[in-house]
């Protein structure tokens, strides 16, 4: 196994860290470093695509290829990167607001397409970057700066949603369980197809309800669960308190890259192919050379 330190950014001097002391994002960063090392992945072979938010700053603090996109747009960019170079390990990463609100529609259609990427959602049940507004997973009754009377909307259940849409791999963990989280992330990366991992973690500044202690008291690890049983997976997904952790559902099926016409006869990654200008001109209807 290679050293997790290989994924430390090689930047001399001090670095500006945007996360608050005690933020769960630090733990997720350490989990990713260990998962990459245990899988013997090389930094140059990993790409992390992120959106906007505190969670989306992860590429800033890891020695891997990174691309910071628009709010909620990590998944389509990650899909394109994987299609252009299927040999890369591609991860789309962001918070519960970035992935389930602004990026919610992209998540739905990624489940349909099934690209061979890993989607990691830092689920702290609040918007951390913009000072604590309610997110799609904020629990009922929580008071926030924009809901001072208390949240009354029913929170989104991303696990049940993903299973209902027949996602290829669905899991949930709490970053406070380090070893278990490393194993789940490893299995998600190794899975061939869209792997969705919802990661509980506290926001120590703006969410005083869902703390480290709260997650330990209100979650449990599934045992003797068959992830290939969709009906049983859905039953587990709609449990509310305590909330199950582990791999809920696996459905192995064709991936997006294998179905793309460009790869039917030629397996050469798109980025390595010579541009066929005549075909491009024909497609674009160009009348002049370029």
Question: Rounded to whole angstroms, what are the CA distances from 142 to 95, 188, 191, 213, 221?
Answer: 18, 32, 36, 17, 26
Rounded Cα distance, 54 and 17, in Å: 10
Tokens 């591609």, residue?
A: 90
List the chain pLDDT tens, one digit each, 290 residues. Answer: 788 888 888 765 556 788 999 999 999 999 999 999 999 999 999 999 999 999 999 999 999 999 989 989 999 999 999 999 999 999 999 999 999 999 999 999 999 999 999 999 999 999 988 888 989 999 998 898 888 998 899 999 999 999 999 999 999 999 999 999 999 999 999 999 999 999 999 999 999 999 999 999 999 999 999 999 999 999 999 999 999 999 999 999 999 998 888 888 878 777 777 776 676 677 676 555 54
pLDDT at 74: 96
Q: Using an 8 Å Cβ cutoff, are 134 and 151 in contact?
A: yes
Domains of the chain: 4-9+20-265 (3.40.50.970)
Provide the H-helix boundaries in the chain. 24-38, 74-84, 96-97, 104-113, 158-164, 178-190, 212-217, 230-237, 256-259, 277-284
Burial class for 1, CB neighbours closer than 10 Å (0-12, 13-18, 19+): exposed
Question: Strands of 65-68's sheet, edge to edge?
Answer: 65-68, 46-50, 89-95, 118-123, 195-200, 169-174, 243-250, 219-221
DSSP string, 224-259: S--TT-HHHHHHHHT--SSEEEEEEEE-----HHHH
Q: Using an 8 Å Cβ cutoff, are 154 and 136 in contact?
A: no
Rounded Cα distance, 159 and 182, in Å: 19
Closest CA to 26 of 185, 237, 173, 203: 203
For 188-202, give the secondary structure using H, E and C. HHHCCCCEEEEEECC
pLDDT at 271: 76
DSSP 155: P
Please tell me whether the overall predicted TM-score, pTM, comes out greater than 0.85 for this model: yes
Rounded Cα distance, 270 and 2, in Å: 30
pLDDT at 129: 84
DSSP string, 23-42: -HHHHHHHHHHHHHHHTT--
């Amino acid at each position: 196994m290679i050293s997790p330190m290989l994924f430390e950014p090689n930047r001399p001097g001090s670095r500006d860290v945007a996360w608050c002391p005690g933020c769960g994002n630090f733990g997720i960063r350490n989990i990713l470093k260990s998962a990459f090392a245990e899988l013997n992945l090389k930094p140059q072979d990993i790409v992390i695509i992120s959106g906007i938010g505190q969670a989306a700053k992860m590429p800033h603090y890891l020695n891997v290829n990174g691309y910071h996109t628009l709010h909620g747009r990590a998944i389509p960019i990650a899909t394109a990167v994987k299609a252009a170079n299927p040999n890369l390990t591609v991860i789309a990463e962001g918070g519960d607001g970035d992935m389930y609100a602004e990026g919610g529609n992209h998540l739905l259609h990624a489940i349909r397409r099934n690209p061979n990427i890993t989607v990691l959602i830092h689920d702290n049940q609040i918007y951390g970057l913009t000072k604590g507004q309610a997110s799609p997973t904020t629990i009922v009754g929580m008071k926030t700066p924009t809901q001072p009377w208390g949240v009354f909307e029913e929170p989104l259940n991303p696990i049940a949603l993903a299973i209902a849409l027949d996602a290829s791999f669905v899991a949930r963990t709490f970053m406070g369980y380090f070893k278990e989280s490393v194993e789940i992330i490893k299995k998600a990366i190794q899975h061939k197809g869209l792997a969705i991992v919802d990661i509980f973690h506290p926001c120590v500044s703006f969410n005083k309800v869902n703390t480290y202690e709260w997650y330990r008291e209100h979650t449990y690890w599934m045992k003797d669960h068959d992830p290939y049983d969709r009906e049983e997976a859905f039953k587990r997904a709609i449990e509310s308190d305590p909330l199950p952790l582990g791999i809920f559902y696996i459905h192995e099926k064709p991936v997006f890259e294998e179905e793309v016409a460009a790869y039917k006869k030629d397996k050469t990654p798109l980025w390595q192919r010579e541009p066929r200008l005549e075909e491009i001109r024909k497609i674009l209807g160009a009348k002049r050379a370029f």
